Amino acid sequence: MADLSVDLNGFKLKSPILSASGTFGYCDEFEDFINVSKLGSVVTKALSINPKKGNEGNRIFETNGGMINRIGLENIGIKEFINKKLPILKEKNIDFIVNLAGSNFEDYIEASKIANKNGIKAIEVNVSCPNVKEGCLEFGTNPKTLYELTSSIKDVYKGFLIIKLTPNVSDIESLAIAAQSAGADCISAINTLKGLGVKIEITEDKKIIKQTVSGGLSGRCIKPVALSMVKRIKEAIKIPVIGIGGISNRDDVLEFLSVGADAVEIGTENFTNPNITEKITNELIELIDKLNLKNLDELKRKLRE
Amino acid sequence: MKKNHQGIIKENIKIAKDTFKLTFDSNIKEVKAGQFVSILIPDKTLRRPFSVSDFVEDKISIIYKLKGDGTKYISSLKEGEKIDFIGPMGNSFNIENKKRALIVGAGVGIAPMLYLKKVLNKNNIENFLISGFKEEKEIIKGSDKYVIGGSVLDSIEGLIDEYKPDVIYSCGPYIVLKLLSHIAKEKGIETQVAMEKLMACSIGVCRGCVIELKRGNETLNASVCKDGPVFKGSEIVWQI
């Protein structure tokens, strides 16, 4: 059987297919649908230092080819994760990456310290959160802020550090370079795009009912944006890149690999087809065999020729 | 047990104005009253959840009202065609130690109540199903009493006093469930309501469909898809 393993600068994955944060729970929630331990890694729902209740009101909105969410990072908090979920992941031999979120520098550092202390091998830092001390601008939109945040985390966290970039910037290269210079081991991109969902309904009695949901756009419709960003990032930096955005089938994965992604995360499609990660994994193996190649690295080389 | 399934359509019939019943072979062994299935709609990101309205051997029925692209697709399905669904999902109505149940259905919200009634009958739990519809043409059959026009709640207080249920089960529009929960609370009767909310994952991971519950002095978020769809009416923090 074809070897799907990936070496991200020393951090080894058994497969390039990962689940994206926020779409897969904390650990084994998808076991009703797939064999989770076959994934390259589960990326956990974003964890903050304290539990968060998230946003009130409507949290999701379906769009053509995707959806908008404003969950507001509802999560159980990293301590609860370590107490309750970590043992399950270990027992079931599920590889995982812990996604971290914060609303100020101190939160990120504190959470990273906890991850470090508990031997978490890899973290993915969500830098799309608003920085409450700096006018709620996202950490990941300013290269200087991102550099400082990344290097501060690097100081306290000794595992594999992935910075997950936001696409809501004009110059993604400068952010990727800032994260690399500050010591990030890997970049993942993209997070959701800012979007506004508006629904207008005209009732039988001639009333106009309007619903709006402002949040992050994800799903199949964002793939071209993600491909473009991944390509630009890859050309600007040397560290590995995990591609994320609108992947729904095997060919989408090939497209990301062809523009330089070393691995990929699958997000919103898990809602549509909860077995999609396993399906794509199997199809990748079949393809590599069919092309008489030995492993994923050979496939990547072919795709990039 | 894996929850990805293929259903084979047995029947898709009109049962009331804009209202249809879909029955499909499911290969599923057990469905509890209150549980739902989430159906894949081609070219749509989000699956559409539907309460199970009947379950005979492995045949699942759902009742749906034509509303948007999702239900339009489902209404186009013909006998022998296949659907991709996940389920059964969610919790169920608790019928343990219940003796006399009042069931209240409003509009298409009656769907899970029809299956619940069947389950109660099977368990020899006395029950009475009252349902409300906007007009005669919209009536979905299977109730003991119908309220046409007006609200199903108009005569509910008298009915509760007369019938003396030890539990009230309900499904329907938010406002109906909210008012019914208040009425029942005042009378000291337990209510269990099946809630509806736009869902993304149907599995409990995305936290898109949460509602707020109050337990003791604490409030917490519960997902309608996994922690629900059935909640105690007295625990829900009802919004305006």
Q: What is the pLDDT of residues A162-180, one digit of tens each?
A: 999 999 999 999 999 999 9
pLDDT tops 60 at residue B181:
yes
The pair of three-digit structure tokens given for residue A73, joined into one six-digit string: 């990072």
In a domain, A200, yes or no: no
CB contact under 8 A, B200 and A24: no
Structural domain for A138, as ranges: 6-57+69-195+216-303
In a domain, A190, yes or no: yes
Omega before residue A190 within 30° of 0, cis: yes
In a domain, A228, yes or no: yes
CB contacts, 8 Å: A211 with chain B? none
CB contact under 8 A, B45 and A71: no
- C-beta atoms surrounding B149 within 10 Å: 10
- C-beta atoms surrounding A40 within 10 Å: 25
Question: Which ipTM was obtained for this model?
Answer: 0.94
**Closest residue on chain A to B199 (Cα):** A60
Give the H/E segment covering residue A110.
Answer: helix A105-117
pLDDT digits (tens, 9 = 90+) for A112-124: 999 999 999 999 9
Q: Which residues contact A298 (CB under 8 A, 6 or more apart)?
A: A288
In a domain, A205, yes or no: no
pLDDT digits (tens, 9 = 90+) for A6-50: 999 999 999 999 999 999 999 889 999 999 999 999 999 999 999
In a domain, A176, yes or no: yes
In a domain, A207, yes or no: no
pLDDT tops 90 at residue A129:
no
pLDDT of the residue at B227: 97
The structural domain count of chain A equals: 1
pLDDT of the residue at B1: 57
Helix (H, G, I), strand (E, B) or coil at B190: strand
The angle at the Cα of B157, spanning B130 to B120, to the nearest 5 degrees, equals: 40
- pTM of the prediction? 0.95
- Residue A65, amino acid: G
List the 169-228 stretch of B: residues with Cβ below 8 A of A: 198-210, 221
Taking residues B72-88, what's their average pLDDT? 96
Taking residues A216-235, what's their average pLDDT? 98
Q: What does the longest C-alpha to C-alpha distance in chain B come to?
A: 52
Among A30, A54, A272, whose Cβ lies nearest the Cβ of B47?
Answer: A272
pLDDT of the residue at A28: 87
In a domain, A201, yes or no: no
Q: Is B3 on the interface with A (CB under 8 A)?
A: yes
CB A78 within 8 A of CB A115: yes
The pair of three-digit structure tokens given for residue A192, joined into one six-digit string: 């959701």
pLDDT of the residue at A245: 98
**Closest residue on chain B to A34 (Cα):** B2
Give percent above pLDDT 90 in chain B: 95
CB contact under 8 A, B208 and A71: yes
pLDDT digits (tens, 9 = 90+) for A73-112: 999 999 999 999 999 999 999 999 999 999 899 999 999 9
pLDDT digits (tens, 9 = 90+) for B9-54: 999 999 999 999 999 999 999 999 999 999 999 999 999 999 999 9
Point out the catalytic residue in the list A129, A136, A186, A221: A129
CB contact under 8 A, A29 and B203: yes
pLDDT of the residue at B155: 87
CB contacts, 8 Å: A30 with chain B? 203, 205
CA distance linking residue A188 with residue A43, whole number of Å: 11
CA distance linking residue A231 with residue A57, whole number of Å: 37
Q: Reply yes or no on whether A136 is catalytic.
A: no
Which CATH number do you get for residue A276? 3.20.20.70
CB contacts, 8 Å: A59 with chain B? 207-210
Which has the minimum average pLDDT: A135-139, B94-98, B197-201? A135-139
β-strands A96-100, A41-43 pairing: parallel
pLDDT digits (tens, 9 = 90+) for B203-230: 999 999 999 999 989 999 999 999 999 9
Which has the minimum average pLDDT: A43-47, A127-131, B171-175? A127-131
CB contact under 8 A, A33 and B205: no
In a domain, A204, yes or no: no
pLDDT tier for residue B112 given thresholds of 50, 70 and 90: very high
pLDDT digits (tens, 9 = 90+) for B128-162: 999 999 999 999 999 999 999 989 999 899 999 99
Helices and strands of chain B, counted as H and E runs: 4, 14
The angle at the Cα of A39, spanning A69 to B209, to the nearest 5 degrees, equals: 25
Instruction: Output the average pLDDT for chain A.
Output: 95
CB contact under 8 A, B198 and A67: no
Instruction: Output the average pLDDT for chain B.
Output: 95
CA distance linking residue A161 with residue A185, whole number of Å: 5
